[in-house]
């Protein structure tokens, strides 16, 4: 056993007791990162990690991030460290400032082990579209299963114990879905709770900072550090930050738990459903008030197209600055249009170009009313219903995904209920900006799957406390793909 295999709060105690040093932890994490076989990394930040260790001041029993290794998705700006968002259009780009999230982690004494792979520009959910190729699920050494995305590298690195914390971003489900496939806790707090300064924008109205840990406790610790107003992000909230870790206690009795029938019914995997329903029975036995609620099936089926239209339209606009002139590989041309066209043709993969065209189509003046604005109106109806459910309930609890990690060559019927609803419903947390957490529920044929808890805006403490109670029921804490190898 290595101390690196423990949770953050356990590593913290070992650091305080002098059983391990930050340098030993960093060296172990770097050694594991170099041995990674899952294509988790864009860049292993060995020098930066050792410099961060060197810069550490006296240990502080109240600072749980002191000396803790972490990895961060490569769409967060990191000063003087290459940052590509796994896209060829940003090859060679080195930011001149750091994201607020990175600064807070470094200032707290966190040790940066590396920048992790993602679906190109965070626009994908498979971990297959980054410029370095597929990122693999650490639970499958044969490399046939995806880990999911877009935060694929952070999921794979956290799951294989390279670091106990992996920072990601979540626009539709990009942390919470891979958390399910990788046996992790994946938390996306309320929109505005964590500063997005320095996070490459994908779809601004849906983007959230989110992260992977191997326990609910570590998720609470991380939120305490990252949450809070940042004047550099005008959408960050002024709401006071609670001491989420100190206030963390399992909370089930008396909690009103909503189960949306139409979403549950759209799942066909009986084993996942039964495992989930067993936890519902246990919650009930411990005093939770279970309410089966309904959401118009037409609204449920509209979740994915609503997400797709809004995200592609916003992405088209947000990525217009990627021109191959101010940064990224430069191509010669007879005029600046040709320079840009060559850079964007060679820089974006086909998938990204297709998504931009869809976004552009939905924004055409002839189409805006029937496509983009209608999607935004549908978003309002979905959010209204979700907030109605949360008026009468403390949390919504459902399986996080309808399956375990899919095979790379799996195909889905994109008009089926399972695809439109169960596989994509987590986007409601982005539509409404609600805190939403995935945690492990079980394993099927060696691959993990999770449940998801969504709460009211800024009620992170309730989501964490309920999740802690659920974690005690399942007993699935600190899971690691290393155990199975």
Task: Give 60-90 as a DSSP string.
Answer: -TT-TTTT-EEEEETTB--TTS---TT-GGG
Site residues for another protein, 361-380, by CB under 8 A, read 361, 364, 366-367, 370-371, 373-380
CA dihedral 250, 252, 253, 257 (to 10 degrees): 160
Site for another protein contains 252 (CB under 8 A):
no
Distance of closest approach, residue 480 Cβ to another protein, in angstroms: 34
Q: How many chain residues interact with another protein (CB under 8 A)?
A: 74
Which span (44-52, 86-94, 113-121, 122-130) binds another protein, by CB under 8 A? Answer: 86-94
The mark string for 88-127 relative to another protein (x by CB under 8 A, - otherwise) is ----xxx-x-------------------------------
Q: Can you tell me the distance from the alpha carbon of 71 to that of 153, in angstroms, rounded to the nearest whole number?
A: 9
Distance of closest approach, residue 45 Cβ to another protein, in angstroms: 19
Beta carbon nearer to another protein, 37 or 384: 384
Structure-token pair, residue 73: 């998705």
- Closest C-alpha among 42, 53, 167 to residue 110: 53
Site for another protein contains 197 (CB under 8 A):
no
| Widest CA span in the chain | 73
> Of these residues, 87, 99, 150, 180, which one is catalytic?
150
CB neighbour list of residue 427: distance below 8 Å, 6 or more residues apart: 172, 173, 206, 303, 304, 306, 307
Site residues for another protein, 435-464, by CB under 8 A, read 457
Site for another protein contains 422 (CB under 8 A):
no
Site residues for another protein, 35-64, by CB under 8 A, read none
150 is catalytic: yes
Beta carbon nearer to another protein, 11 or 206: 206
Give the one residue of 13, 63, 88, 205 binding another protein; rule: CB under 8 A.
205
Beta carbon nearer to another protein, 12 or 456: 456
The DSSP 8-state label assigned to residue 443 in this structure reads E
Give the one residue of 222, 311, 316, 480 binding another protein; rule: CB under 8 A.
316
Site residues for another protein, 266-285, by CB under 8 A, read none
Site for another protein contains 335 (CB under 8 A):
yes
Which span (53-61, 62-70, 210-218, 381-389) binds another protein, by CB under 8 A? Answer: 381-389
Which span (29-37, 126-134, 144-152, 357-365) binds another protein, by CB under 8 A? Answer: 357-365
Cis geometry, peptide bond prior to residue 264 (ω within 30 degrees of 0): no
- Closest C-alpha among 324, 321, 322, 309 to residue 355: 309
Helix (H, G, I), strand (E, B) or coil at 425: helix
Beta carbon nearer to another protein, 93 or 408: 93
326 is catalytic: no
Q: Specify the long-range contacts of residues 102-105, CB closer than 8 Å, at least 24 apart.
A: 102/72, 102/76, 102/77, 102/78, 102/167, 102/198, 104/225, 104/226, 105/65, 105/70, 105/72, 105/167, 105/225, 105/226
Q: Specify the residue for token string 């930011």.
A: 95
Q: Can you tell me the distance from the alpha carbon of 293 to that of 398, in angstroms, rounded to the nearest whole number?
A: 12
416 is catalytic: no
Distance of closest approach, residue 100 Cβ to another protein, in angstroms: 16
- Closest C-alpha among 414, 412, 415 to residue 403: 412
Give the one residue of 164, 328, 435, 469 binding another protein; rule: CB under 8 A.
328
- Closest C-alpha among 158, 153, 137 to residue 443: 137
Which span (118-126, 271-279, 296-304, 442-450) binds another protein, by CB under 8 A? Answer: 296-304
Beta carbon nearer to another protein, 32 or 193: 193
Distance of closest approach, residue 432 Cβ to another protein, in angstroms: 5
CB neighbour list of residue 436: distance below 8 Å, 6 or more residues apart: 176, 187, 188, 426, 429, 452, 453, 454, 455, 463
Beta carbon nearer to another protein, 60 or 370: 370
Site for another protein contains 333 (CB under 8 A):
yes
Site for another protein contains 200 (CB under 8 A):
no
Site residues for another protein, 388-417, by CB under 8 A, read 414-415
CB neighbour list of residue 120: distance below 8 Å, 6 or more residues apart: 85, 86, 87, 129, 130, 131, 348, 349, 351, 352
> Of these residues, 45, 73, 99, 219, which one is catalytic?
73
Distance of closest approach, residue 111 Cβ to another protein, in angstroms: 26
Helix (H) / strand (E) containing 377: helix 372-392
Residues identified as active-site? 73, 150, 174
């Amino acid at each position: 056993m290595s101390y690196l295999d423990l949770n953050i709060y356990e590593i913290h105690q070992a650091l305080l007791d002098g059983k391990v040093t930050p340098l030993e932890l960093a060296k172990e994490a770097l050694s594991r990162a170099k041995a990674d076989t899952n294509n988790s990394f864009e860049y292993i930040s060995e020098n930066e990690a050792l410099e961060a260790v060197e810069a550490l001041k006296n240990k502080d029993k109240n600072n749980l991030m002191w000396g803790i290794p972490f990895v961060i998705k490569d769409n967060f700006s990191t000063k003087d460290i290459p940052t590509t968002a796994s896209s060829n259009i940003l090859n060679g780009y080195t930011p001149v400032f750091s994201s607020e999230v990175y600064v807070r982690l470094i200032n707290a004494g966190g040790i940066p082990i590396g920048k992790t792979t993602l679906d190109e520009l965070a626009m994908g959910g498979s971990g297959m579209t980054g410029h370095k190729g597929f990122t693999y699920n650490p639970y499958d050494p044969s490399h046939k299963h995806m880990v999911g995305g877009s935060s694929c590298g952070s999921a794979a690195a956290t799951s294989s114990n390279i670091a106990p914390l992996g920072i990601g971003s979540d626009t539709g489900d990009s942390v919470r879905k891979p958390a399910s496939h990788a046996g992790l806790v994946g938390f996306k707090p309320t929109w505005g709770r964590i500063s997005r300064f320095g996070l490459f924008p994908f779809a601004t109205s849906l983007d959230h900072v989110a992260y992977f840990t191997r326990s609910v406790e570590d998720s609470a610790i991380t939120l305490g550090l990252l949450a809070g107003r940042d004047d550099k992000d005008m959408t960050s909230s002024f709401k006071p930050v609670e001491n989420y870790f100190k206030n963390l206690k399992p909370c089930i009795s008396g909690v009103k738990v909503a189960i949306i029938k139409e979403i549950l019914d759209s799942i066909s995997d009986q084993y996942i459903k039964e495992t989930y329903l067993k936890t519902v029975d246990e919650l009930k036995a411990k005093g939770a008030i279970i309410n089966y609620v309904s959401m118009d099936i037409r609204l449920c089926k509209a979740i994915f197209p609503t997400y797709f239209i809004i995200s592609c339209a916003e992405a088209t606009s947000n990525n217009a600055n990627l021109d191959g002139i101010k940064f990224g590989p430069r191509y010669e041309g007879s005029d600046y249009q040709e320079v840009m066209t060559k850079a964007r043709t060679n820089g974006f993969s086909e998938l990204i170009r297709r998504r931009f065209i869809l976004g552009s189509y939905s924004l055409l003046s002839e189409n805006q009313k029937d496509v983009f604005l209608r999607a935004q109106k549908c978003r309002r109806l979905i959010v209204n219903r979700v907030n109605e459910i949360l008026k009468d309930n403390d949390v919504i609890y459902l399986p996080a995904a309808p399956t375990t990690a899919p095979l790379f060559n799996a195909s889905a019927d994109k008009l089926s209920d399972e695809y439109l609803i169960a596989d994509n419903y987590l986007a409601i947390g982005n539509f409404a900006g609600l805190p939403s957490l995935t945690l492990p529920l079980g394993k099927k044929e060696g691959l993990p799957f999770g449940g998801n808890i969504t709460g009211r805006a800024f009620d992170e403490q309730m989501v964490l406390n309920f999740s802690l109670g659920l974690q005690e029921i399942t007993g699935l804490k600190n899971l690691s793909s290393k155990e199975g190898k």
